[in-house]
Amino acid sequence: MLIKGYAAIARRPQWFMVGSLVVAVLLGVGVAGRSVFWPVAAGLLLAVVVVLLVLSLPAVQAGKLPRFLLVRRGMFVAPVEISEVLAAAVLVVAGAGGVAYLRGHGPYGPHQNWQWLLAFVLLVGVTWRRALRSSGMAFRPDGVVVRSRHGKIFIPWQADPLGRSASQLNNEIALLCRWPGLARMDGNWRDGPVVTATADVSFLARVIHEYAGSAGHRAAIGTPAELSRLSAAVTSVVV
């Protein structure tokens, strides 16, 4: 069940964030109200935060991350980082609860806490941007690209790249290659050969192996037809 849930978040992170915002606003309205039921709404909101936090833990995600790629701008890209999306949802829900409590039960009254509402709007914008632009791995006809907040590394297929699981628990993959001198690093790349995977580690390693050993399929990378072929070839091995 978790595997399907994580896959759904990875395919439609925008919808998940919108759903989180709707839940946060609805529960926030209940918290801000002065009825006797506002503690119930606060308890539900806290429960949502706890569930999201648990789902964002690497130990919970281990072995359950998506096993698919997406077609984007002539490339195959791994989904966004699920833990970032969940962390953003936690901030949105918790922030909505805090703002709702201050507006409904704060010492200054609902009309004097507008600055907290503004802060919440800014929080939503920043966290959504961060989550939906989280780094990941991309496959191009000429090689493998990994982007992080510190920079980018590009490993051409001529370098004979190899992906190995560095830590299944922490969802980390080691990017090795026979000819490391061909790899190019841009920006202030500090991650070394071990990077955090946003998809299943074994799946990504198999994709790298597939294209490193099959030069004839590389030119079709980024097309829906090739993605269908790749998915059938790789998922038949990674179970």
What is the total count of domains within the chain?
2
Same domain for 27 and 50, yes or no, is yes
Domain end position, chosen among 91, 111, 132? 132
Residue 41 lies in a domain: yes
Q: What is the pLDDT of residue 111?
A: 58
The verdict on 30 and 57 lying in the same domain is yes
87 and 146 fall within a common domain: no
The pLDDT, as a whole number, for residue 238 is 44
Q: Are residues 123 and 192 in the same domain?
A: no
Write out pLDDT tens, residues 15-66: 998 899 899 888 888 888 777 788 898 899 999 999 999 998 887 887 888 8
Tell me what the pLDDT averaged over the chain comes to: 83
- 228-239 pLDDT, tens per residue? 999 888 875 443
The answer to whether residues 188 and 227 belong to one domain is yes
Please indicate, yes or no, if residue 74 is contained in any of the structural domains: no
Instruction: Using alpha carbons, select from 80, 122, 89 the residue that is nearest to residue 22.
Output: 89
Question: Average pLDDT for residues 100-122, to the nearest whole number?
Answer: 70
For residue 217 the two structure tokens come to: 């399929």
pLDDT confidence of residue 47: 94
Question: Could you tell me if 101 and 36 lie in one domain?
Answer: yes
Tell me the pLDDT band of 112, cut-offs 50, 70 and 90.
low
pTM for this model (two decimals):
0.81
Distance of CA 107 to the CA centre of its chain: 38
pLDDT of residue 237: 46
Residue 227 has pLDDT above 90, yes or no: yes
Per-residue pLDDT tens digits for 170-203: 788 888 888 888 888 876 666 667 777 888 888 9
The percent of residues above 70 in pLDDT, for the chain, comes to 90
Last residue of a domain, one of 89, 106, 132: 132
State how far the Cα of 120 lies from the Cα of 114, in Å rounded to an integer: 10
User: 128 and 142: one domain?
Assistant: no
- By residue range, what is the domain housing residue 197? 137-235
Residues 31, 145: one domain?
Answer: no
Find out whether 199 and 68 touch, Cβ atoms under 8 Å. yes
User: Domain check: are 98 and 161 in the same one?
Assistant: no
Residues 88, 101, single domain; the answer is yes
Among 76, 70, 91, which residue's Cα sits nearest to residue 24?
91
Same domain as 156, residue 114:
no
* C-alpha pair distances (Å), 166 with each of 40, 102, 150, 176: 44, 45, 20, 11
| 3-state DSSP assignment of residue 97 | helix
Q: Same domain for 125 and 142?
A: no
Q: How far apart, in whole angstroms, are the C-alpha atoms of residue 32 and residue 61?
A: 34
